[in-house]
């Protein structure tokens, strides 16, 4: 991997180590419901790491358990091989009654594939050697940055080869980097009973949001069982909540961690492991208010079933189109727009369409724009029926602008 990548990421983690995980900011942690701290006492089990002897593997779990518990396999960010960097999350998981396996992997002098193997071998060893703690029938794979990309290949192996998660399984990926070791065919044949939540950060300038978009659109998980959320930055009472690449493993351990991460993770576990539909409405609510609402004046989370981009690729340290990305041909740079409204129902039909397009919505709108993949308006109409005969065959976006200035985007195939 390029030297500047190593330098940049290590600089980030030097900052993390200095500041640690001390909660800050004007918005308090939740005291009840999803995202609130659990009541279990945390115990740890440490053992040798077969692929990285200088860094032990650690299992955090609820003390005093008499049977194995649902387990989270954490894929950490590049350079973040000290569990103290994310001690808040590791302890949060155990306090809620689950186990979490933290496997450090070597960053310098090894390949991407070796890091993936390091993680996977550590997860397998933990499950094999500690069956009294780890229940492999109920599992979640969580990852951030490098780990957010690695989580898909490692989860796929454990789900399909080892049959982990037959009673409940999910993936929770944040600010993901390039995804290796999994083919297009494997993504398109991914076990459909897996749940997925992908989270990106508005002011992330490290990893291109298109990488998360690519996997989200490709993976064989029903739309009802996966969601894609974008977290926005904000300023509350002079305190800056920055939604950038180092959330959630950041020096500012604050409401973004608890409400845009722990809360959603907690709800996902309750849905996947316990079948609680209230948890689904929070974790995979398809833009429900229970899912996107943030406290204390913070901007709501932005939900979309068709993830969009707010920045061009040149902004990012690692653009999706980079030669380092094994999936650079799947970036699908669809559109550069701002927010998509999640509360207005719009239907377009027929779709695919060849001659005419009709708009169905219960809300009054001012205009409809037909956009190309670069976000350029090709046609504007004020009516519910639009002729598209003159447009070449291909993929377009239909932007319905409502009278209150909100809007809704839908994909259109012209054939």
**Radius of gyration, alpha carbons of the chain:** 22
The pLDDT of 172-186, averaged and rounded, is: 97
Treating both helix axes as pointing N-terminal to C-terminal, what angle do 209-218 and 146-160 enclose, rounded to 10 degrees? Answer: 20
Q: How many domains does the chain have?
A: 2
Element containing residue 152 per DSSP (H, E): helix 146-160
Q: Which of 384, 396, 378 is nearest to 358 (CA)?
A: 384
Q: Which of 120, 126, 139, 100 is nearest to 181 (CA)?
A: 120
In terms of pLDDT, which residue wins out, 74 or 20? 74
Residue 235 CB neighbours (<10 A): 11
Any domain includes 338: no
In terms of pLDDT, which residue wins out, 332 or 409? 409
Domain containing 390 equals 346-414
346-349, strands of its sheet edge to edge: 346-349, 356-361, 385-387
HSE at residue 26, side-chain half, CA atoms within 13 A, is 12
Predicted local confidence at residue 338, as pLDDT:
39
Q: Are 133 and 164 within one domain?
A: yes
The pLDDT of 187-201, averaged and rounded, is: 96
Any domain includes 341: no
- Does 375 score more than 80 pLDDT? no
Any domain includes 276: yes
DSSP labels for 65-92?
Answer: -SS-EEEEEEEPPTT---GGGGHHHHHH
Q: Are 324 and 392 within one domain?
A: no
Least trusted range by pLDDT, from 19-23, 89-93, 280-284, 331-335: 331-335
- Does 18 score more than 60 pLDDT? no
- For the chain, percent helix, then strand, then coil, each to nearest 5? 30, 25, 45
User: At 163, phi and psi to the nearest 5?
Assistant: 60, 35
Residue 333: pLDDT band by 50, 70, 90 thresholds? very low
Residue 72: pLDDT band by 50, 70, 90 thresholds? very high
Q: Are 291 and 385 within one domain?
A: no
In terms of pLDDT, which residue wins out, 369 or 47? 47
Structure tokens at 94: 């155990």
Predicted local confidence at residue 374, as pLDDT:
52
Q: Are 96 and 136 within one domain?
A: yes
Look up tokens 């993949």; give the residue.
373
Q: Are 354 and 264 within one domain?
A: no
Q: Are 367 and 243 within one domain?
A: no
Any domain includes 335: no
Q: Are 10 and 38 within one domain?
A: yes
The pLDDT of 25-38, averaged and rounded, is: 96
Kindly state the percentage of the chain with pLDDT values over 90.
71
Look up tokens 């454990």; give the residue.
158
Q: Are 118 and 212 within one domain?
A: yes
214 torsion bin: left (phi>0), alpha (psi -120 to 50), beta (else):
alpha
Q: Are 314 and 353 within one domain?
A: no
For the segment 110-135, what is each residue's pLDDT rounded down to a tens digit? Answer: 999 999 999 999 999 999 999 999 99
The pLDDT of 217-246, averaged and rounded, is: 94
Q: Are 51 and 136 within one domain?
A: yes
The pLDDT of 75-82, averaged and rounded, is: 94
Residue 103 CB neighbours (<10 A): 30
- Please check whether residue 73 is in contact with residue 81, taking contact to mean a CB–CB distance below 8 angstroms: no
Mean model confidence pLDDT for the chain = 88
HSE at residue 71, side-chain half, CA atoms within 13 A, is 28
Residue 278 CB neighbours (<10 A): 15
Alpha-carbon gap, residue 204 to 271, rounded angstroms = 29
Structure tokens at 32: 């009840």
pTM: 0.78
Any domain includes 262: yes
The pLDDT of 134-138, averaged and rounded, is: 98
The pLDDT of 45-70, averaged and rounded, is: 97
Any domain includes 339: no
Q: Which of 280, 301, 330 is the last residue of a domain?
A: 330
Instruction: Give every CB contact of residue 396 below 8 A, 6+ residues apart in sequence.
Output: 370, 371, 372, 373, 378, 411, 412, 413, 414
Residue 362: pLDDT band by 50, 70, 90 thresholds? confident
Q: Which of 225, 207, 204, 228 is nearest to 216 (CA)?
A: 228
The pLDDT of 129-143, averaged and rounded, is: 98
Q: Are 324 and 358 within one domain?
A: no
Alpha-carbon gap, residue 409 to 398, rounded angstroms = 6
Predicted local confidence at residue 415, as pLDDT:
82
Cα of 127 vs its chain's centroid, Å: 25
Q: Which of 330, 362, 391 is the last residue of a domain?
A: 330
Predicted local confidence at residue 251, as pLDDT:
61
> What is each CA distance from 348 to 7, 95, 403, in whole angstroms?
48, 47, 18
Any domain includes 303: yes
- Does 404 score more than 80 pLDDT? no
Cα of 175 vs its chain's centroid, Å: 6
Q: Are 224 and 267 within one domain?
A: yes
Any domain includes 337: no
Q: Which of 296, 330, 364 is the last residue of a domain?
A: 330
Q: Return the CATH number at 105.
A: 3.40.50.1820
Q: Return the CATH number at 392.
A: 2.60.40.1930
Alpha-carbon gap, residue 322 to 115, rounded angstroms = 20
Instruction: Write down the number of H helices and E strands in the chain.
Output: 10, 18
């Amino acid at each position: 991997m390029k030297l500047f990548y190593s330098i940049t990421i290590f600089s980030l983690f030097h900052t993390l180590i200095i500041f640690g995980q001390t909660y800050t900011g004007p918005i308090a942690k939740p005291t009840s419901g999803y995202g609130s701290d659990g009541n279990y006492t945390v115990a740890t089990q440490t053992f040798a790491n077969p692929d990285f002897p200088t860094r032990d593997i650690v299992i955090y779990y609820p003390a005093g358990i008499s049977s194995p518990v649902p387990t989270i396999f954490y894929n950490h960010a590049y350079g973040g091989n000290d569990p103290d960097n994310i001690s808040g999350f590791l302890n949060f998981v155990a306090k809620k009654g689950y186990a979490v396996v933290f496997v450090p992997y070597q960053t310098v002098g090894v390949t991407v594939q070796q890091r993936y193997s390091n993680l996977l071998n550590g997860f397998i060893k933990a499950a094999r050697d500690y069956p009294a703690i780890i229940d492999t029938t109920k599992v979640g794979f969580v990852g951030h940055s490098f780990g957010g990309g690695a989580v898909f290949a490692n989860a796929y192996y454990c789900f399909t080869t080892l049959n982990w998660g037959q009673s409940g399984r999910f993936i929770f990926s944040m600010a993901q980097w390039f995804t290796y070791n999994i083919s297009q065919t494997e993504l398109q044949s991914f076990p459909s009973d897996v749940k997925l939540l992908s989270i990106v950060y508005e002011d992330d300038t490290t990893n291109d949001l298109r990488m998360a978009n690519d996997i989200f659109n490709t993976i064989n998980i029903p739309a009802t069982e996966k969601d894609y959320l974008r977290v926005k930055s904000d300023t509350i009472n002079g305190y800056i909540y920055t939604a950038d690449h180092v959330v959630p493993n950041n020096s500012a351990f604050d409401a973004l961690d608890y409400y845009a991460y722990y809360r959603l993770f907690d709800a996902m576990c309750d849905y996947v492991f316990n079948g609680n539909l209230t948890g689904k409405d929070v974790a995979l609510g398809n833009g429900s208010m229970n899912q996107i609402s943030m406290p204390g004046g913070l901007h709501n989370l932005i939900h979309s079933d068709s993830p969009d981009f707010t920045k061009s690729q040149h902004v990012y340290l690692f653009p999706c189109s980079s030669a380092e990305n094994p999936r650079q041909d799947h970036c699908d740079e669809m559109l550069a727009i701002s927010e998509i409204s999640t509360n207005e129902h719009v239907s377009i039909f027929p779709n695919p369409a060849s001659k005419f397009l009709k708009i169905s919505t219960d809300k009054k709108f001012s205009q409809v724009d037909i956009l190309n993949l670069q976000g350029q308006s090709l046609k504007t109409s004020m009516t519910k029926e639009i002729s598209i005969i003159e447009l070449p065959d291909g993929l377009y976006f239909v932007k319905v602008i409502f009278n209150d200035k909100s809007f809704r985007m839908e994909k259109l195939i012209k054939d």
